[in-house]
Structure 1
Amino acid sequence: MTASSYIEKIAIVGAGGNSGKFMTESLLRTGKHTVTAITRADSKTKLPEGVEVKIIDYDNHTSIVDALRGQDALVITMGVMAPADQQSKLIHAAADASVPWILPNEWSPDTADKALVEDVAAFQKIPQARELITKLGKSSFIGITTGFWYEWSLAIGAAYGFDFADRTVTLFDDGETKISTSTWPQVGRAVAGLLSLPIHAEDQGKDRCLDRFRDGLVYVSRFTVSQKDMLDSVLRVTQTSLNDWRVTHEPVQERFHKGIEALQKGDRMGFARMMYSRVFYPDGNGNFEKTRGTINELLGLPQEDIDEATKAAIQRSKETTWS
């Protein structure tokens, strides 16, 4: 472990990705960290200015170990379609490189909720990664639970139920179930704030240190809102009224099962309908701000205007085809 009482050297996988670039930029802005992007030789992703770069080959364990040696922390961000064994290769290499801290590829709804993980197979690999880190016994982990990305998800009709081009919205049940959701900038700030805490308790108190969160989950949110709250924001941003939209309702459990059926028939949007509808179940698993609490206040995360995030989502919906 570093001789310093703070984390200084941070390696990040996905430093130029949708979420990773915000984490990288926020870490660099602190002026407290050296940030190294871990990337493949064939990657075409543009990286934020100010990062160091280490090239790895996922089929060459030694190349990953060499890239991670001397790092105080490893932050892993990768997409749903990343190879299933990619994170485990990173975790094994981090253990062999003696990296003290890992933030695994969490960034999701609450995977400490066993019913949610059981129902959504894609979430099962998240606790498995935490278990692997513990089993290897060389690194400590902190899993950051964020909920879904608001500006990403609102842009996808199969996710939160909004179709901006057609001005239609499908409300699940009564549309009033609240879920905790985040934005990329907010999570970037959270990662930077968390990794800037002292490792051990100092004068600020026992709560303001990484030891408090060692080998556990922390919860970060941007908004805890219902679909009706989202709709209110959409109406303000688009300067439309409810009469300009076609609003329908669908039982959330029916939507979940229809999503599974569609996925089994090869409709990839069925996956989104299934996964997103599950957090709107009335069991409350989607509202982790209520069930678990968050570390927003401890990290000094700001309260932002939901309408700004809604604007970003509407712009994304115009730029990307979801099919």
Structure 2
Amino acid sequence: MATLYAKDQPAGFKNNIEKVAIVGAGGQVGKFITEALLQKRHFKITALTRQESTSVVPEGVEIKKVDYNEPSTLVEALKGQDVLIVTLAVTVTDEAEKLNKAAAEAGVPWVLPNEFGSGSNNDAVNQDIKMGIQKQNIRKQIEELGTSSWIGIVSGFWYEYSLSVGSWSYGFDINNRTVTFFDDGTQQINTSTWPQVGRAVANLLSLKVLPENESDKRPYLSQYKNELVYFSSFKVNQQEMFESLLRVTGTKKDDWKISNESVKARFETGKSMLQSGDRRGFGLMLYSRFFFPDAPGINPSSSNADLGLPEENLDEWTGVAVQMAKENYFENVVVPRTTGRR
């Protein structure tokens, strides 16, 4: 497809993003995206929230209450917006579909759908973990509606979260000093901190929509139209995470209980748990699958440079994870959020 240039667009064409609507502005990753957008100081940000929501939204964000049972409230809230960012639980497909339809009716040109995690274009993984297919269906719906274009944000798993929440994710129980290495613990993945996700989104939306002219070689937003954009904080394996934990905690290997488990057997354990009604099995399945030897957790490309993302210090963010574990972040924040026990 031939490259379009801003100079050739009709009068009134706007070559930058100004108005951003976000769903989940007070959520785990949504909070960091919203804060990064605010720091840019050139976005007008609107948070779409339910009438009954008690979520705290960062100061400086306009709040519009919506009712998902009344699609007209979604359309009205989205009128005039340049971008809709959706950060919901990936299982909330009904609401995501309603948002896509409302964005199309309101004429929103860009949608950042519910990605913000592991990649969803690996067919082998999608056969094992159906979440990727759900993401693909949401993106397909956006295209079929014919108004908005989508950009999928692929950060890999969230580093400080995944390291801190318990052995079911990256294999570490920090508080009890146990680690389970998947196979030999050397399979690398790409993983990102929450602030890096926020910066990536804010920097992406700060790009010009189109290059100004033929000599403008800077990255631009439309080059990611209906594509996934890959970035990360670290390309790392479990052994490297463990070495970082030893440095941060001042402990030795002998202070930890260390075990190894076949990553494929771990996946099957999670699958059996889920089939028997134990939803905790999904976490085992999801994380272990991205550590398989076919390396699905390694991004096929990197837009770190195009997005102007900084290099981060692994030990610094391991330290954040250690503090989150001490504060029992998962039990005190995640569980109440996902079960309604706030």
Q: TM-score normalized by structure 1?
A: 0.95
- 1:148-167 to structure 2, matched below 5 A, reads 148-156=157-165, 157-167=167-177
- Of 195, 202, 210 in structure 2, the residue corresponding to residue 192 of structure 1 is 202
Q: Is the 8 A contact 1:206 1:212 kept in 2?
A: no
Please give the secondary structure, in 2, of the residue aligned with 1:247.
Answer: strand
Query: Which residue of structure 1 aligns with residue 295 of structure 2?
Result: 284
Query: Which residue of structure 1 aligns with residue 106 of structure 2?
Result: 97
- Of 179, 184, 198 in structure 2, the residue corresponding to residue 169 of structure 1 is 179
- Of 88, 93, 109 in structure 1, the residue corresponding to residue 97 of structure 2 is 88
Query: Which residue of structure 2 aligns with residue 55 of structure 1?
Result: 65
Which digits, 9 at most, give the CA deviation of each residue in 1:91-112, with x for residues without a partner?
Answer: 0000000000000011121211
Gaps of 5+ in 2: 1-9, 336-342
Q: Is the 8 A contact 2:90 2:114 kept in 1?
A: no
- Number of residue-to-residue matches in the alignment: 319
Query: Which residue of structure 1 aligns with residue 316 of structure 2?
Result: 308
Query: Which residue of structure 1 aligns with residue 77 of structure 2?
Result: 67
Query: Which residue of structure 2 aligns with residue 136 of structure 1?
Result: 145
What is the rounded CA distance, in whole Å, between the counterparts of 2:286 and 2:90 in structure 1? 12
Query: Which residue of structure 2 aligns with residue 215 of structure 1?
Result: 226
Residue identity opposite 2:245 in structure 1: V
What is the rounded CA distance, in whole Å, between the counterparts of 2:255 and 2:216 in structure 1? 53
Query: Which residue of structure 2 aligns with residue 241 of structure 1?
Result: 252
Residue identity opposite 2:280 in structure 1: M
Query: Which residue of structure 2 aligns with residue 46 of structure 1?
Result: 56
Shift of 1:207: 4.9
- Of 119, 127, 131 in structure 2, the residue corresponding to residue 118 of structure 1 is 127
Please give the secondary structure, in 2, of the residue aligned with 1:296.
Answer: coil
Residue identity opposite 2:216 in structure 1: G
- Of 198, 201, 213 in structure 1, the residue corresponding to residue 211 of structure 2 is 201
Please give the secondary structure, in 2, of the residue aligned with 1:299.
Answer: coil
Query: Which residue of structure 2 aligns with residue 27 of structure 1?
Result: 37
What is the rounded CA distance, in whole Å, between the counterparts of 2:22 and 2:210 in structure 1? 23
Q: Is the 8 A contact 1:27 1:33 kept in 2?
A: yes
What is the rounded CA distance, in whole Å, between the counterparts of 1:120 and 1:109 in structure 2? 11
Q: TM-score normalized by structure 2?
A: 0.90
Gaps of 5+ in 1: none
Query: Which residue of structure 2 aligns with residue 254 of structure 1?
Result: 265
Q: Is the 8 A contact 1:54 1:67 kept in 2?
A: yes
Which digits, 9 at most, give the CA deviation of each residue in 1:174-205, with x for residues without a partner?
Answer: 10000001111001000000000000013673
Q: Is the 8 A contact 2:163 2:321 kept in 1?
A: yes
Query: Which residue of structure 2 aligns with residue 274 of structure 1?
Result: 285
Shift of 1:321: 4.7
Let me know the Cα RMSD of the aligned residues: 1.6
What is the rounded CA distance, in whole Å, between the counterparts of 2:116 and 2:24 in structure 1? 13
